Amino acid sequence: MARRSRRGNMLALIGAFCILMVIILLFALGYVRLLGTSSEQKTAIEAAALAAAREISKIVINTPEFGFIGLSDSAPNGSGTTAGDTFRTPVHSINTLIGTARLDYIIADALGSDGDEFKELALRDLAAAKTRADELIDRIDAAVLPGGVAQDKNGADVTPYTAAEDAYTQNVIRIAGKCDYVTGSMQITIGALANGAATNIPVPKPLSSDPSLDTSNTIIARTYDHFSGNWINETYYKSYTSYPFDGQDFVFAAIGDSVRLVDPALWRATLTGLPYYYRTVVRAEALETVQDPDRTHTLKAVACAQPSNVWDPKPVPGALQISFPDGMPTGPEDITRPRDLYGAASNNMAASGVGADMYTANGGDFPVTTGSSIAPDNGSWPVPSDTNQTAATACKIAVYDWLKRAGTKANVTSVIGMHATPFKEVTQAPLSLSALVPIGAPIAGSVPRGICHMYFFDSDGVVSYDVKEQKPQPYYVVAENQTYMECFRAIDDGHVLAEQIELSGLALGPPVNAVDDGVVVLGPAYDMYIRLYSRRPGTMNGGRHAGEPMDNIWLVTQKPASVKLSGNRGAATVDSIVMSGRGAHGNMNGWKNKNKGKDSGGISTGTQGVPPAIIGRQDFPQSAPATIDPNPALYEKYDDTGGGPRLTYKSYSSGGTGDGTTSDIRFRRVLDIYKESAPSQVESGYIGLK
């Protein structure tokens, strides 16, 4: 029998082994190609998700309640947000709107029964924010479809789908052979996260003001403080977490401080168990084919990303002014602190029947714009529970408008302490009446020192307080489309004793100008006038200035030397004030100082040629135009020009003017004019403009 060659067997074995190795190598090569393609595709789809999230962070819509809103705040620098006066307006994040409403509601609750109307106003804003947030998400849903488009704050087109496709194709590096993106396979869907991530909306300060917050439902993150220039630990709300307070629900969307990838396993098209929520998280998916010699593979890649919010620090949100040009009421119905405006036992601010009429200016700032007018603003009273439209509620509306401009940074304890802090006292002698009338007028007597109490928010949300002397002039304009409220005899008995001034040969202003002699009695009653410059924010309904604060030369051209009201929930200690005789911009009334003499109290005596000292107690919205002098030189008004961000957006130290006027609550002491020619006839009026 022939014996088999061992060498032949070995050759066969080697040949089989080589064939096996070729097969293994071919398989490995294909596997490596698949791994490489998958890695490439992962990088590409993540780039696509980030690009789409970055784009939807830019989308804005214009709303009648808030102006422009989006997923991100923005300083007033977008060319597409320009108001009628050429200045640009801010953009508000939906999370900021919800956080502001929640903070203001917490402050309202801390005010006890005085805060009920504040709660109504906060819930009104929350409801509007939820409605407009739904509209924004609908706009985003449409924009992420193929061919979808929306607009950013500059009015430019935003195309998230195109941006995602471009990012995908630009980030694929072909190192693994024949691979192709399946054209049109990109899908962008907006959803939510199964568990909460950090937002960049800060929780109320101090944290103790909301006992429901703890480490289980908040996130502490290190953040850069733009004001101090330091990195600090800040506590933030979590997204998709319910934050009920006093039976009201507040939920924040997944919007962080930067665009970032999130785990696709946590992405959900819908969520359950929440009272409401807003979908903001991008899910991007795409298909890609990999061509092998014998077959074609189709791979699917998925990535998710969260959009960002560039939180607006609101450097100088605006000032609240409470002014008494004819002196403070010190009688049985006195006002000694801001909370007394809400109806303390010693006054009738909240009495039924003391109604505040509500008006709005049309056709420009009334009365300085030619053709402007003022008319009843029927149906705009924002507190339905107060059908009497009381003076106290009118004051709460004014304070609320100032409060909500602080956004999410207002310090709860400081705001409550501000309400309880007594007004500074005026320690100087009454002002000579001759200082308020044209030089040489035959009039004798004096009037109490006028004073304006001013409240600001510092960079840390703490309230600061300052005071300045205030004469009856200048009068403040009513901004176009904004709100003016007046309430006659808001205070009935503000003084124990009436004060009498003798007149002789003084020509009075309209409509009392038929009287040239008689007796004027400064009575106990005060009328109230409120001007709101931010009641209607934005370019849709806000008029020429879009509801932004009025730059007030007299008030804010220098950084106020103010008292910080940050101590506790009670009142801070405030020393009495001694008037300096100078306002922030020359003499107090804001006009040219033609008469630089001093009265006996050391106060600048005012100007030559000012309006008549005594005018009628007129309801000017219903008066003939001839009774109102429209000379712009006589009024505090919007003076800043030039476009771009307003100077009132910037702090004094940053080159701006600081806070502008957001709300002005002004009390005018009523005087009675007894005519010698007709002793039984009595006219009512004021010293100077109202």
Q: What is the pLDDT of residues 340-356, one digit of tens each?
A: 999 865 666 766 556 88
Average pLDDT, the chain: 80
Per-residue pLDDT at 405: 96
Q: Would you mind telling me the total number of residues written for the chain in this entry?
A: 690
pLDDT at 22: 55
Look at 622 and 586; give whichever has higher pLDDT. 622
Note the pLDDT of residue 629: 72
SS3 652: helix
Pick from 32-36, 103-107, 655-659: least confident: 32-36
- Confidence at 611, pLDDT banded by 50, 70, 90: very low
Mean pLDDT confidence for 610-638: 62
Identity of the highest mean pLDDT range in 77-86, 293-302, 319-328, 439-448: 77-86
What confidence score (pLDDT) does residue 633 get?
79
Which pLDDT band holds residue 561 (cuts at 50, 70, 90)? very low
At 3, the pLDDT band (50, 70, 90 cuts) reads: low
Distance CA 72, CA 96 (A): 9
Cα 118 from Cα 120, distance rounded (Å): 5
Q: Where are the domains of the chain?
A: 32-306, 319-687
Residue 378: per-residue pLDDT: 85
Average of per-residue pLDDT across 645-665: 86
**In contact, 545 and 83? CB cutoff 8 Å:** yes
pLDDT at position 597: 27
Mean pLDDT (whole number) for 591-597:
24
CB count in 10 Å sphere of residue 58: 22
- The fraction of the chain above a pLDDT of 90, given in percent, is 49
- How confident is the model over 361-373, as pLDDT tens digits? 999 999 899 999 8
- In the prediction, which pLDDT does 481 show? 97
Model pLDDT for residues 412-448, shown as the tens digit of each residue: 999 999 999 999 877 666 665 555 544 344 455 566 7
Q: How confident is the model at residue 167 (pLDDT cuts 50, 70, 90)?
A: very high
94-110 helix and 412-420 helix, angle to the nearest 10 degrees: 40
| Residue 230 predicted with pLDDT over 90 | no
pLDDT at 492: 87
Confidence of residue 29 (pLDDT cuts 50, 70, 90): very low
**424 residue type, one letter:** K
Mention every residue, 6+ apart, whose C-beta is less than 8 A from residue 550: 476, 477, 479, 533, 636, 637, 638, 648, 660, 661
CB 456 within 8 A of CB 418: no
355-405 residue pLDDT tens: 888 999 999 999 899 999 888 998 899 999 999 899 999 999 999 999 999
261 CB-contact burial (10 Å; exposed 0-12 / middle 13-18 / buried 19+)? middle
Paired tokens of 465 = 């307080």
Ordered DSSP codes for 191-249: EEESS--EEEEEPPBSGGG-TT--TTTEEEEEEEETTTTEEEEEEEEETT-B--BTTB-
pLDDT at 177 over 70: no
Structure token pair of residue 64: 């009648």
Asked if residue 115 has pLDDT above 90, the reply is: yes
DSSP category for residue 523: E
Q: Going by DSSP bridges, is the β-strand pair 230-238/260-262 parallel, antiparallel, or unpaired?
A: unpaired
Provide the pLDDT for residue 593.
25
8 A C-beta contact, residue 688 and residue 589: no
Q: How far is CA 270 from the centre of its chain?
A: 31
Query: 578 is written with which tokens?
Result: 């001694």
Return the pLDDT at 608.
Answer: 28
Higher-pLDDT residue of 656, 119: 119
Amino acid letter, 540: M
pLDDT at position 498 over 90: no
What pLDDT does 538 receive?
97
pTM: 0.86
N-term to C-term CA, the chain: 134
Distances, alpha carbon 240 to alpha carbons 100, 175, 430, in Å? 17, 41, 59
- Identify which has the larger pLDDT, 22 or 310: 310
Question: Sign of torsion, CA 88 60 401 529?
Answer: positive
Tell me the pLDDT band of 57, cut-offs 50, 70 and 90: very high
Which one of 218-222, 471-475, 612-616 scores highest in mean pLDDT? 218-222
**257-286 pLDDT, tens per residue?**
999 999 999 999 999 999 999 999 999 999
**pLDDT (mean) for 49-74:** 98
Q: For residues 642 and 87, give the distance between their C-alpha atoms in angstroms, rounded to a whole number.
A: 7
CA–CA dist 653, 535 (Å, integer) = 28
Q: Highest-confidence range of 111-125, 447-461, 567-581, by mean pLDDT?
A: 111-125
Residue carrying structure tokens 């007030």:
552
Whole-number pLDDT of residue 233: 81
What is the structure's pLDDT at 100?
98
What does the pLDDT read at residue 59?
A: 98
With 0-12 CB in 10 A as exposed, 13-18 as middle and 19+ as buried, what is 674? middle
**The predicted structure's pLDDT at residue 507:** 47
- Count CA atoms closer than 13 A to 607's CA, side-chain side: 19
| 206: confidence class by pLDDT, cuts 50, 70, 90 | very high
Q: What is the pLDDT of residue 654?
A: 77
